[in-house]
Amino acid sequence: MHKRSQHAFSLAEQMLTLALISIACGIALPSLSAAVQKNQSEALRDRLQASLHAARTYAVLHRRPVEICASQNGKQCSSNWDEGWMTRLSKSPNNLIERHQILQPTQLDWQGFGANIRFLANGTSPASNGRFYQCQAGAVFWQLIINRQGRVRAGSRAENQALSSKCP
């Protein structure tokens, strides 16, 4: 007769493996959560910057003033940028060019002379210069600065630190 031997893990080995896996997950999950939040914030910045560039380009190519404003529903302007924005022709508010809706909870702030950003037919934004910024952990994580010529640029670290007093 053949003698068969079984090969398996003991209960102690399984418990030790499970303990090591749970410790590794406990260490990795906070880092993963921070990385996901950072990526979402950077994606929002990139999408906003692309919308601003597209609005300016549309104004120049079609020789018509274009405005971007905060909007919750894509029909009316509001002052809350946290839920999204829309791009439309300035003199024809019913002519929507683009709408972007923010699905995850965020805090996006605009600091400028007016509530809307307006690009004229020559690409300038004389009355709409200002900055968008997003706070995380009591400091400015990123900002986009719009100058009177309508150009959009990212803020430097020094500019972000100088603006951090605006963050709660």
pLDDT digits (tens, 9 = 90+) for 129-148: 899 999 888 889 999 999 99
Per-residue pLDDT reduced to its tens digit, 98-120: 999 988 888 899 998 888 999 99
**Domain limits, the chain:** 41-166
Residues 6+ apart with CB under 8 A from 126: 120, 148
Which residue, 96, 107, 95, 92, is CA-closest to 37? 107
Paired sense of beta strands 139-146 and 130-136, if any = antiparallel
Please list the alpha-helical segments (H only) found in the chain.
11-62, 157-163
**Residue 166 pLDDT:** 85
Given the candidates 3.60.20.10, 3.40.50.2300, 3.40.50.150, 3.55.40.10, the CATH classification of the domain at 41-166 is 3.55.40.10
User: What does the pLDDT look like over 42-95, one tens digit per residue?
Assistant: 999 999 999 999 999 999 999 999 999 999 888 888 888 988 999 999 877 688
The pTM (predicted TM-score) of the whole model is: 0.80
